[in-house]
Structure 1
Amino acid sequence: IVQWGLGVDDSGPVGTIPAENPKAMKGAQLVYAGNVPLMHGTGMGSSFYGTEGRVECHRGRIGLWLGEKFIAGRTGGDKNINLGKELDKMESEYLKDAKVKLYRSSSHIPDFLNSMRTRKKPCTHEIIGARTAIACHLLNQTYYNHTAIKWNPKKNTFASGGDPKWLTRDYRGEWDV
């Protein structure tokens, strides 16, 4: 969702910054073009911060704040709040003149099955999936090796700071590729 929100589904990060503590399991960062940071923190979900507020989202939950004032959404376990109505409210009141219109999808599985019928790409197609996995692997390598990485997302290779050996592992026994 973060790469989608940043508009970088077709590219991905250009680097990483390790956490200060070498034994940390949070605090490392992915860096995107234009020096846009993504901080890996605790919990799940994504937070987007702007000049006037923030949007937070996580699997069936979303919240919109202007300043510190909660405007719309469903952020907790309150089953009485209808997520669809809250999304419609956000869209009609705050996104009616949006320059970017997002792909509508309620779930990946029906979206994928529909793409098989229509032959149109699903919202999360193979390139997006690969770019997401690469971002996760880069962050994991940053934690594991506690080093910054410069990444070339066009070539899917290290620009500097990484070891090509990290992209594979030693073969066992007589096996070879």
Structure 2
Amino acid sequence: MESFSSKDMAMQAQKKILSHMANKSMVNMFIDDNSSEIMDELYRVSKEYTGNRTEAQKVIKDMIKIAVKIGVLFRHNRFNAGELGLAQDFKKKLHQGAMTAISFHEVEFTFDKTVMSEILTGCRDLLLKLVNTHLTAKSHGRINHVFNHYADPELLTKLYDPDGPFRPNLIKICNGLNKLVEEGTI
């Protein structure tokens, strides 16, 4: 028996089209203004840290593509009960990461690059498990690219340097994270 499903085909087409259209105007359609502002700050940090505009754009573009694809999967109810449990674990870990990032910013001399890096790699691992059977190896590579980039202890150390050039970016990132936490988004 042939296993054809127009619903599956529509979802595949949607994921493919949206992944090719991941630009600023598409971000606004799928990602709220606050999250978009956080991403803008993350882009600025990445650009300055790497000294490479193209690499910074690629990291953010990968982040957007992954967010959009996961959104499509949720909208089409593609996750089973076990995967929905992983999604909850991911959300909890992301919330923990946001609270830790904010705390490290607000309480002087508490920043620990190892703790922050471990939380981010934990988020990466949960997300990879969640999408394991739903997304391609290329998408898994995008997830690794994003989380490995921001979990880099050297980048984190520079970001949290109280006298460093990223201080204004960190303030905006943490203000945005605070809003997301207050709204219950993360």
Give the TM bin, normalised by the shorter chain. Answer: under 0.3
Which structure exhibits the higher relative contact order, with contacts defined as CA atoms closer than 8 Å and separated by 6 or more residues?
2
Bigger share in strand: 1
TM-score by length of 2: 0.25
Larger radius of gyration: 1
Bigger share in helix: 2
TM-score by length of 1: 0.26
